[in-house]
Amino acid sequence: MLAKVAIDLALDRLFTYEVPEALQKKLAVGQLLSVPFGHREARGFAVEVGANGTQDLRRETLDARGLTSKVSSPKFKLRPITAIVDETPFFSEKLLELVKKTASYTASPIESVLRAALPAAVLKRSARAKELLFVEKRDQGLGIRDQGLTQRQKWLVENIERLGGGWLQQLCRELKTTPASLKTLSEKGLITIEVRAKRRDPLANRRILPTKPLPLNEEQKRALEAIEGEDLRRETGDARQGEDFRRKTLDGSKVSRLTSSRPVLLFGVTGSGKTEVYLQAIAKELAAGRGAIVMVPEIALTPQTVSRFASRFGDRVAVLHSALSDGERYDEWHRIRSGEARVVVGPRSAVWAPVRDLGLIVVDEEHEPSYKQDELPRYHARDIAVLRGAVEGVRVVLGSATPSLESWMNVKRGKYELVEMRSRAGAGTLPSVRLVEMKGGSIFSPELLEAVHLRLDRHEQVILFLNRRGYSTSAVCASCGYVVTCPACGVAYTYHRADSCLRCHVCGGWVPVPATCSQCRSSAFDFRGIGTQRAEAALQKCFPRATVLRMDADSTSRKNSHDDLLSAFRRGEADILLGTQMIAKGLDFPNVTLVGVLNADASLNLPDFRAGERTYQLLAQVAGRAGRAELPGEVIVQTRDSDAPVMKSVLRGDFADFATEELAARKECFLPPACHLALIGFRSKDLKQVSNWATMYAKSLQRLKDVRVSDATPGALEKADGWYRWQIVLRAVSASAIVRAWRWISAERPVPGGLRVSFDIDAFSIL
């Protein structure tokens, strides 16, 4: 028997090993193995297993780009697998199929996808469950009266029984006793003390009260029926609804499994009750013995979402995100693999969770760019969720109040089913929106200040949105106008008043504020631009009696800080919440009646074709935080260009009209979703090297007929962290045509040392 193994090194290929007879009955795909590799022992995953003598495993190799090539029969003897590290597979056959398709579509080494699909804490050689001593009363123990116990010992046994046992150290503290006293009771046969695994629970310090399903309105009922596969198209006569049809994967290859329905795009306005629909859909999956994955775009949303799901489903919920400790991630992942946890909540990495008998995948806020991974493998978690649904034959629900244009186009093409929820659930109504034209350098308009005063007088809460952290966006010499820039990146430093330093938001470097200008030796500096720290200081001057909470990357660096800040605001401990985009979506505060957007044009002026779409989504999402309960809401958007089409669309609040106009413009310019777009990025410390190689790649690729290739150009951020950056943009109707072009050029023109080249299919940004 032979096995193909993906080694724990990015070597762009699978290696074939002989399976010793002693391991043949135990070996299965997806297991973690120990194998000889060179002069050391390596670890890797069994990707394929074949019977003894199978020529396919001997005669084929799989490279990093998913290319399978024939090789001549080896004249050397295959080395045997050393051991099976864990007999329980880390990957099911379906998950391995998903990994292979992702590696092929993104042109990534399969090893990199396998690593992305597993928390690093799970694969650490030192990783293990936390074991402690557990104490409980022995079921068949002798009666207390017959043991000649002291009154204290009798009391201890009675209380251990009353508490149902507990961890040794915890019981000693609670019962004010010692381990030696409990050991004496164990020797008498009245209690047992044994080693048990103790779960490192990320929700252990959070108070979660059980909840029951809420009554659904008609729109929510229709949405739930659509997720369950009911026929909702009777009125339109769409005969395809409810029929089985063969799904296609991202790379266009057929899947052998038939599914009963298309993915559902749940297009619901903010506050329409999408989460309650998710909860009740998952409850039905659990009742049928199946599991579910719920994906949220950011860690900031995870605590609130987890609380809602844990309050409904209790210990059956597991959490996966990067803010957990290694021990918590290890325990949560193993709870999922064992089937103890049936519902997984987390950001993009949750798409790989090894949920048993998966029945439903929910991608909440599916339009969010944070679902796109910006390092190898560069996958989009929303698309992988749809692909996993096709591979495993399960329903996928994409939810958003401002869908991505890709998903909207898939609705128009009949690939996705659209379900709309146009009204808010409960007593809430959509807020009114006002555009305020800004002039000069003021932070707050008189209209916004007056509105904030009014809410504070009413003891209502306010959310202010500014998508720029720091105090000021630049430090400028007052005499000569020189802007202090990061030498490694060539971008202006941002001034942070809290620690009185200049920070680069690209590479993370920092310097103290210079005493004098390096150009004219003047000691006078102007700090220009507005960041959240400066806005916070201005708010405290304007409203000295108000309590202001600031939520940005600087104020949420410690563990659980997201949850702590949001919980404090929800309890009414602050009047104003000021923050970046982490407060713009998914949060529900009943007492918030005013939302102010301080600089609505910031994202609109970026040199990226998605700038209008991102601006509309951000503004619509942050506006949706107001008026979510009985109290009416108002949104004030401060802008310097109220006549911009995007601003007018936000004022109308009609996403369908905005999408129609934007899709027409994208089609005319041959931009996604009218095509697929990929970015080939070049990085080098040598400017001449990076420009020459990028130009050579571009000229070679431009000879291809089925792909549009741009000239090689410097990146919008030409230098970052000391590396010069150039890029080429590829566009084509077919993603496979772009991937073929990349495979050809990367094989034809291997790059020299010192040059880094990356490939990003379906690139989310060209900056």
Strands (E), 628-762: 634-639, 676-684, 708-709, 713-720, 723-732, 755-761
Please tell me whether residues 270 and 402 are part of one structural domain.
yes
| DSSP 8-state secondary structure symbol assigned to residue 471 | S
Structural domain that includes position 702: 676-761
Please state, as a whole number, how many other Cβ atoms lie within 10 Å of the Cβ of residue 451. 22
Average pLDDT over residues 696-717: 93
Mean pLDDT (the chain, rounded)? 86
- Maximal C-alpha separation, the chain: 95
Please tell me whether residues 403 and 338 are part of one structural domain.
yes
The structure tokens listed for 119 are 């928390």
pLDDT at residue 110 is higher than 80: yes
pLDDT at residue 702 is higher than 60: yes
Q: Which is higher by pLDDT, 624 or 695?
A: 695
Query: How far is residue 201's CA from residue 307's CA, in Å, rounded to a whole number?
Result: 13
Strand-pair partners of 380:
372
Query: How far is residue 503's CA from residue 747's CA, in Å, rounded to a whole number?
Result: 40
Q: What is the CATH number of the domain that holds 383?
A: 3.40.50.300
Does 181 reside within a domain? yes
Does 407 reside within a domain? yes
Please tell me whether residues 358 and 443 are part of one structural domain.
no
Q: What is the pLDDT of residue 248?
A: 39
The structure tokens listed for 569 are 């605001």
- Phi/psi-derived region of residue 221, left when phi > 0, alpha when psi is between -120 and 50, beta in every other case: alpha
Q: Which amino acid type is present at position 257?
A: R
Percent of the chain with pLDDT strictly greater than 70:
90
> Which single residue is written with the structure tokens 């304007």?
542
Does 292 reside within a domain? yes
Please tell me whether residues 738 and 652 are part of one structural domain.
no
Does 278 reside within a domain? yes
Instruction: Tell which of 615, 649, 667 closes a domain.
Output: 667
Average pLDDT over residues 148-171: 88
Average pLDDT over residues 584-595: 82
pLDDT at residue 254 is higher than 50: no
* Burial degree of 569 (CB within 10 A; 0-12, 13-18, 19+): buried
Average pLDDT over residues 60-64: 43
Q: Which is higher by pLDDT, 307 or 752?
A: 752
Please tell me whether residues 644 and 694 are part of one structural domain.
no
Does 344 reside within a domain? yes
Q: How confident is the model at residue 605 (pLDDT cuts 50, 70, 90)?
A: confident
Average pLDDT over residues 473-495: 85
Q: What is the pLDDT of residue 146?
A: 53
- Strand pairing category for 501-503 and 494-496: antiparallel
Query: How far is residue 402's CA from residue 649's CA, in Å, rounded to a whole number?
Result: 12
Q: What is the pLDDT of residue 430?
A: 82
Instruction: Tell which of 667, 700, 731 closes a domain.
Output: 667
Residue 451: enclosing H or E segment and its boundaries? helix 446-457
Backbone angles phi, psi at 616, to 5 degrees: -60, -45
Percent of the chain with pLDDT strictly greater than 90:
53
Q: What is the pLDDT of residue 282?
A: 97
Tell me the per-residue pLDDT of 298-334, one tens digit each, with 9 for 90 and over: 766 666 788 889 999 999 999 988 878 889 999 999 9
Please tell me whether residues 597 and 723 are part of one structural domain.
no
Does 205 reside within a domain? no
Does 514 reside within a domain? no
Q: What is the pLDDT of residue 300?
A: 61
Query: How far is residue 154's CA from residue 190's CA, in Å, rounded to a whole number?
Result: 10
Average pLDDT over residues 383-397: 96
What are the residues whose beta carbons fall under 8 Å from the beta carbon of 707, sequence distance 6 or more? 701, 730, 731, 732, 737, 738, 741
Residue 343: enclosing H or E segment and its boundaries? strand 343-346
Q: Which amino acid type is present at position 353?
A: A
Q: What is the CATH number of the domain that holds 714?
A: 3.30.70.600
Strand-pair partners of 231:
none
Q: What is the CATH number of the domain that holds 156?
A: 1.10.10.10
Q: Which is higher by pLDDT, 68 or 685?
A: 685
Instruction: Tell which of 165, 197, 229 closes a domain.
Output: 197
Please tell me whether residues 256 and 385 are part of one structural domain.
yes
Contact 589, 569 (CB under 8 A): yes
Please tell me whether residues 324 and 341 are part of one structural domain.
yes
**57-71, 87-101, 466-480, 527-541: which is most confident:** 87-101
> Which single residue is written with the structure tokens 């002026």?
605
Tell me the per-residue pLDDT of 38-61, one tens digit each, with 9 for 90 and over: 889 999 999 999 865 444 444 444
What are the residues whose beta carbons fall under 8 Å from the beta carbon of 510, sequence distance 6 or more? 493, 496, 501, 502, 503, 504
Contact 61, 20 (CB under 8 A): no
Please tell me whether residues 547 and 684 are part of one structural domain.
no
pTM of the full structure: 0.85
Does 478 reside within a domain? no
**Would you call the peptide bond into 673 cis, given omega within 30 degrees of 0 as the criterion?**
yes
In Å, how far are 81, 199, 223, 485 from 163, measured between CA atoms?
49, 19, 44, 62
Please tell me whether residues 614 and 735 are part of one structural domain.
no
The structure tokens listed for 703 are 């000879």
Please tell me whether residues 457 and 405 are part of one structural domain.
no
pLDDT at residue 252 is higher than 80: no
**How many independent structural domains does the chain possess?**
5
Please tell me whether residues 157 and 227 are part of one structural domain.
no
Q: What is the pLDDT of residue 242?
A: 36
Q: What is the CATH number of the domain that holds 108?
A: 3.40.1440.60
What are the residues whose beta carbons fall under 8 Å from the beta carbon of 306, sequence distance 6 or more? 203, 317, 319, 345
